[in-house]
Structure 1
Amino acid sequence: MVAPIFILVFIGALLKRTRVVDESFINTASRLVFMLCLPILVFFSISQTDIKAVFNPATLAFSGISVTLTFLALTGWSRWKNYPPEDHGAFVQGGFRSNYGIIGLAMSHNLFGQSGLGQASVVLALVIPLFNILSIVALSSSQNGAQQWRHTALHILKNPLIIATLLALPCSAMGWSPPEVISQTGHALGSMTLPLALLTIGASLNLKDLRSSSHLTLHASAAKLIWMPLVFTPLAWAAGFDGEAVAILFIMLGCPTAAASFVMAKSMGANAKMAASIILVTTLGSVISLSSGIYLLRLWGLI
C-alpha cells in the first residue's frame, strides 16, 4: 500500500529526466496543488467526516508534544554544537518539519481509506500551524527585526490549508452537505491532489544535490526519518493508542521534510542550499524508512 506512493514520485523524476515536464510545469503544478487542489481535498475530507468519531484529543496532544520536543532537542543540540545562525535554522527546521500534507495524507488514505484520510486531516489541521510557528522560531536566528516575523505570520494566516480547515470544521459539526454539483466538482479536484503532488515532488528532485550534502544535512535527515519515529512511535503504543492511531502518528513523524521548508529558509536568510539537500535526502530515504516501518507495524499486528 506504500509502494504506489513512491512509484509516483519516481515517475515524476523520470518525466523530468526525459524532459516530458519542465520547471515551468513543476512550478505551476505545485502552485495548483497548494492553492486549490489540496485545500479542497482537506476541506471535503474534514467536512464530510464525523469529527466526533475521529476527533481524538489524545492523538492531537501526542502529535503536538512529539513535534515540539523534537524541535527543542534539535535546538539544544544545535546550540551546544554552536552551529552558525544560518545553518541553525535550516538544520532545526529540516529535522522536525514533515511533508504530512502530501505524503502523510496519501499513506493514511492508502492504508485506512476514507477513515484514515479523515483522521489524518484532523491531525494536519494541528500540525500545519505548529510546523510554521516553530519554523519561524528556528529561522529567526538567521535574520533580525520584527517585520519578518509579522510578514511570515501573515502568510500562516493566509495559508490555504489553514483556511480550508477553519471552514470545514463547522461544516462537519453541523452535518452540512454541499449541493451534488459542488460535491462532485470538489471531489474531482481533490482526486487530482495526491497523484499530481507526488509527481511534482519526484520531478523536483535533483540528485546532483546529494554530492553537496553536509554532515548537518545527514544529521537532520536522521532526526527526521529515524529518531522521531523510533522514539515516539513506541511511546504512542505504550500509551495505549490503537493500531490506526499509532500508524497515523508514525507516518506524521516519519514523513520526509516539507518542501515549504526551503521557501521559508530562503525568505528568512537561512542556509537554503542545506534546506534543499535535507528535502532531497529525506524524500529518498523515506522510501526505505516508511516502508520498513509500516511493514514492522503490520508484522507486530499493530495495523
Structure 2
Amino acid sequence: MMQNILFTAGIVTPVFLIIALGFILKKLKIISDNFVAVTSKFVFNVSLPALIFFNISEIDLSSTLNIKEIIFICVVIIATYLIIWIISKYFIKDGKNLGVFIQGSFRGNFAIVGFAVIDSLYGNISLGKASLILAFILPLYNILAVVALTVPIMEEKAINLKSTFIEILTNPLVLAVVFALPFSYYKIMLPPVIIKSGNYLSSIALPLALIGIGANLNVKEIKKASTFAFASSGVKLILLPIIATFLAYEFGFIGQELGIIFILFACPTAIVSFIMADAMGGNSKLAGNIVLITTLGSIFTITIGLYLLKAFGLI
C-alpha cells in the first residue's frame, strides 16, 4: 500500500508543485500578468508545438498509432458531451450558463496538465503517443465547444463555420502534428543540431505552461462560485474519468493505454474554455470558476485515481 502511495505521489506531486510555484511567484509579484500573458502565447505558439513536433517525428508511427484507442476516446467524448447536454438543459435554463456548463464538464487540459502527468508517469517517450491522440481530440474539442457555446444562445449569435474551420486548421498544435507526421512515417532523420535545439525548446513548454496555470489561479473566487460551477467540476473530475476508465477497461485497454485514457478524462478544464466563453457571449465568470475548481480539485482526483489503478494492477 505504501509503495503505491509513494508511486502515485512521485508522479503527481512534481506537476502540481510547479503549478503552486506559479501561484506563489504571482503572489510575491516576481511574475506579472504581462509575463503570464506573453509566456502563455509563447508556449501555445512555439514551445508546445515544438514539443509535439519533435516527439511525433521521432516515433515509429506504425507501432505507436492505436486507431482503436483513438476511436474509443473520440466516441466517449462525443457520447458524454451529448449526455451532459441532454441532462443539464433540464436544470439550466439560461443559455449563457448552459453552454459554459457543458464545455466545462467535458473539455480537459490534456495538452498541458495531461502531458505533464503522462511524462511523469511513463517518461518522455510516451508523449509521442499522447501527441497523436491530441491531434484528433483537439479539433473535436473545438468543434463541440463552439456548438455548445453557440446553440443555447442561437438568437444572439450565429455559428460561423468558416472561421471555426480556419481556426482549427491554423491551430499551432494541430499544425505541429501535420508537419511531424511525414518525418515519422518516412523515418526522416533531422540533423542532430536541430534535434538538440528542438529539445531545448521543448523542455521549457510544460514548466512554463504549468507556472502560467498557477499564476492565473485566484483562490478567493471559490467562495463566489455557483452551484453550477461545482456541479460541472464534479462531472469533469469524478464522473467523466470513472465512466471513461471503466468503459476503457471493459473494451480491453490496460497498462499504458488505460493510464493515458484515465489522465485524458481526469484533466482539469482547459483554460481556453474561459477565453472562448468570454469571446462567444457565455458566462465567463462561471467558466473561470470551473477552471479554478477543477485545477485545484484535480490534485486530489488524479492522485486518487492513479493510486487505485496502480493498486489494482491496471497500469
Q: Are 1:63 and 2:73 matched, yes or no?
A: yes
CA distance in structure 1 between the aligned counterparts of 2:103 and 2:265, rounded to whole angstroms: 14
Task: Give 1:154 shift.
Answer: 2.1
- Is contact 1:148–1:268 with CA below 8 Å preserved after alignment? no
CA distance in structure 1 between the aligned counterparts of 2:231 and 2:250, rounded to whole angstroms: 27
The residue number in structure 1 matching 2:57 is: 47
- Is contact 1:90–1:271 with CA below 8 Å preserved after alignment? yes
The residue number in structure 1 matching 2:5 is: none
- Is contact 1:43–1:164 with CA below 8 Å preserved after alignment? yes
Q: Which amino acid aligns with 1:188?
A: Y
- Is contact 2:266–2:301 with CA below 8 Å preserved after alignment? yes
Q: Which amino acid aligns with 1:230?
A: I
Task: Give 1:148 shift.
Answer: 3.6
One of 170, 193, 198 as aligned partner of 2:182 = 170
CA distance in structure 1 between the aligned counterparts of 2:281 and 2:14, rounded to whole angstroms: 36
Task: Give 1:287 shift.
Answer: 0.1
Q: Which amino acid aligns with 2:230?
A: L
Task: Give 1:145 shift.
Answer: 4.9
3-state DSSP of counterpart to 2:19: helix
Q: Which runs of no fewer than 5 residues in structure 2 stay unpaired?
A: 1-10
One of 220, 227, 235 as aligned partner of 2:239 = 227
Are residues 82 and 291 of structure 1, via their aligned partners in 2, closer, same or farther at CA, if it must alter by over 3 Å? closer
- Is contact 2:23–2:215 with CA below 8 Å preserved after alignment? yes
Task: Give 1:78 shift.
Answer: 2.2
3-state DSSP of counterpart to 2:270: coil
One of 77, 83, 95 as aligned partner of 1:73 = 83
Q: Are 1:28 and 2:38 matched, yes or no?
A: yes
User: Which whole-Å deviations, capped at 9, do the CAs of 1:105-146 have from their partners, x for residues lacking one?
Assistant: 111111111332121111111111110010011011335454
TM normalised by structure 2 equals: 0.93
Between 216-225 and 111-120, the greater mean CA deviation after superposition = 111-120
- Is contact 1:5–1:106 with CA below 8 Å preserved after alignment? yes
CA distance in structure 2 between the aligned counterparts of 1:253 and 1:103, rounded to whole angstroms: 11
The residue number in structure 1 matching 2:227 is: 215
Q: Which amino acid aligns with 2:162?
A: R
Q: Are 1:122 and 2:132 matched, yes or no?
A: yes
3-state DSSP of counterpart to 2:96: helix
Q: Which amino acid aligns with 1:203?
A: A
One of 114, 119, 124 as aligned partner of 1:109 = 119
The residue number in structure 2 matching 1:14 is: 24
- Is contact 1:136–1:149 with CA below 8 Å preserved after alignment? no
- Is contact 2:65–2:129 with CA below 8 Å preserved after alignment? yes
CA distance in structure 2 between the aligned counterparts of 1:168 and 1:300, rounded to whole angstroms: 36
User: Which whole-Å deviations, capped at 9, do the CAs of 1:177-233 have from their partners, x for residues lacking one?
Assistant: 211221111111000001111111101101121122111111110110001111110
CA distance in structure 1 between the aligned counterparts of 2:70 and 2:219, rounded to whole angstroms: 35
Aligned length: 303
Q: How does 1:74-223 map to 2 (within 5 A)?
A: 74-141=84-151, 142-143=153-154, 144-146=156-158, 148-223=160-235
The residue number in structure 2 matching 1:252 is: 264
Q: Which amino acid aligns with 2:309?
A: L
Task: Give 1:257 shift.
Answer: 0.4
- Is contact 2:146–2:159 with CA below 8 Å preserved after alignment? no
Q: Are 1:240 and 2:217 matched, yes or no?
A: no
The residue number in structure 1 matching 2:3 is: none
Q: Once the two structures are aligned, what percentage of the paired residues are identical? A: 40
CA distance in structure 2 between the aligned counterparts of 1:81 and 1:101, rounded to whole angstroms: 31
